[in-house]
Homo-oligomer: A and B are copies of this chain.
Amino acid sequence: MSSVAAGKHVVVIGGGFAGLQAAKALARTGADVTLIDRNNYHLFQPLSYQVATGALAPSEIAIPLRHVFRRRKRVRVLLGEVGGFELGRRELAVTDPGSGEQVTLTYDQLIVAGGSDYSYFGHEDWRSVALEVKSLDSALEVRGRILHAFEAAELRPDEQEAWLTFLVVGGGPTGVEMAGQIAELARETLAGEYRAIDSRRGRVLLVETADKVLSAFPNPLPERAATSLEQLGVTLMLNQTVVEVDRDCVTIEDRRGAQTQVPTRTVVWAAGVTASPLARQLAEASGASVDRAGRLTVEPDLSLPGHPEVVALGDMVSVRDPDSDRLITYPGLAPVAMQQGRYAGKMVAARLTGAAAPPPFRYRDKGMLATIGRDRAVAQVWRLHFSGRIAWVAWLLVHIYYLIGFENRIVVMLRWADSYVTRGRGSRLITEAADLPSKDRSAV
């Protein structure tokens, strides 16, 4: 196989789970592969929320992309922002985020896995106040802001109520995990470390528009998760929607239109998904359509309609069902992205070598997991479901297994074992990534 694809150039955009698997599959074909990402690392995103509360250090869940491919001499990794698709000429532009300099690349086959972002319900101005924890940079900012809130309360105990109120928006897995982590931080890790305040009095509010958390999980897991959260001290605010976000206050509204103002200075956003802007760029370049969440519509084999040489996948696409012609939106989970990445790699390899194309993509659902805290998790595997410690152990094993691509998994396991025993968090640093509003550092 390796000689047949030689001399062909495949460009893969995005070094997340989808792009990484696609590039790995293609690395074995003899084609020249260029993998482009705006970060120099692959992030194990399901654990980025643990960076946001100091449980793990960034380098424990992020690995340099070019280190992954260091022995694959036909794989070139580039750091850059992608844009300017010229599908007719099979060209695109890559911009260095540091210097702004731009180069043009040509390709024979193109794989686009740009991922997704949070939508903020159309309120872009909330973004600077209500940070997300999906990206590493933002998770580091959240870590700094949460830790700073406790520090500010210790300095000004008279203002501790607003500083010690933490509001998480969105009751999906990320929101549930964040709320549980902040509650554990306040009640266990930081307990006894302050003198003017009691960190255990910190309030964690979880706001969710639906009438339950983890609504993608089967019953009775949402109720189990709710009970676990309440045991950790999280206040659930179900059937409530955020209607205003200010630096000192969040306004929420219930289904009858009654509003509540919550004084808080720390808001974490985990609600509403929108596809990468690359989806719209590809739609405009090709005439394909995007759905309400900005996802690009692709064929059953993940290719762009009218452009079999372009494959788009992961969180940024909806897939046309070959049977019903309806659109399938897969959940934004790592297993979906990995399966689509491997599929895309195989399909493009088949195109390059003239082999038979694989049948349309089908997702093999192996289950879902969400952790709430130490010893608390919910899991659904096929038609079975678990909660409590057994689900938490399953969560631990699955994540250790998938971190095996990471060379520092021993370090991560040691860290986890240590936090489990001591209830500590080893990375509780406020660095400049915290991006606190005022940063005049003229004195100590």
Q: Report the separation of the CA atoms of residues A281 and B443 in the bound assembly, to the nearest whole angstrom.
A: 10
Instruction: Among A159, A408, A444, find the residue whose CB has the most chain B CB atoms closer than 10 A.
Output: A444
Q: How far is the CB of A373 from chain B (nearest CB, A)?
A: 20
Q: Would you give the shortest CB distance from A77 to chain B, in whole angstroms? A: 8
CA gap between A94 and B330 in the complex, in Å? 52
Q: List 5 A-B contacts (CB under 8 A).
A: A37-B444, A67-B428, A98-B151, A101-B159, A140-B431
Q: What residues of B have a CB within 8 angstroms of the CB of A40 in the complex?
A: 147-148, 151, 428-430
Q: Is A201 an interface residue when CB atoms closer than 8 A count as contact?
A: no
The one of B75, B151, B192, B407 that contacts A426, using a Cβ cutoff of 8 Å:
B407
Residues of B within 8 A of A82 (CB): 443-444
A253-261, A293-301, A377-385, A433-441 - the one binding chain B: A433-441
Give per-residue flags for A53-75: 1 if the beta carbon is below 8 A from chain B beta carbons, else 0.
00001111010101100110101
Stretch at the interface among A126-134, A350-358, A409-417: A409-417
Q: Given the known A-B contacts A38-B444, A154-B78, A276-B444, are A64 and B428 also in contact in the complex, defined by CB atoms under 8 Å?
A: yes
Q: Which chain B residues lie closer than 8 Å to A151 at the CB level? A: 40, 78-79, 96, 98
For the complex of A and B, the 3 pairs showing the least CB-CB separation, nearest first, are: A98-B436, A79-B151, A59-B427
Known: A67-B428, A156-B96, A429-B58. A443 touches B277 (CB 8 A): yes
A96, B59: Cβ atoms closer than 8 Å = no
B96 near A152: Cβ-Cβ < 8 Å: yes
Query: Across the two chains, which residue of chain B brings its CB closest to A94?
Result: B155
> Nearest CB to that of A14 among chain B residues?
B444
| A70 contact set on B, CB distance < 8 A | 192-193
Determine if A83 is an interface residue (Cβ-Cβ < 8 Å): yes
Write the nearest CB–CB distance from A194 to chain B, whole angstroms.
7
Are A408 and B426 closer than 8 Å at their CB atoms?
A: yes
Complex Cα distance, B438 from A411, in Å, reads 34
> Is the CB–CB distance between A438 and B100 below 8 Å?
yes
Question: A137 to chain B: which residues have CB within 8 Å?
Answer: 431-432
* A159 proximity list for chain B (CB < 8 A): 101
Report B-chain residues with C-beta under 8 Å of the C-beta of A443: 38, 81-83, 114, 276-278, 281
Known contacts A193-B66, A195-B76, A98 near B433 by CB under 8 Å: no
A148's contact among B79, B427, B432, by CB below 8 Å, is which?
Answer: B79
Alpha-carbon separation in the docked complex, A155 to B115 (Å): 23
Q: Quick check: is A214 within 8 A (CB to CB) of the other chain?
A: no
Given A40-B147, A407-B426, output 10 extra A-B contacts at Cβ < 8 Å.
A39-B430, A41-B429, A59-B427, A67-B424, A76-B196, A79-B148, A81-B442, A98-B151, A277-B443, A432-B433
Complex CA–CA separation, A78 to B155 (angstroms): 6
Contact A99 B152 (CB under 8 A): yes
Q: How far is the CA of A40 from the CA of B154 in the complex (A)?
A: 12
Contacts of A58 in B (CB 8 A): 57, 427, 429, 431
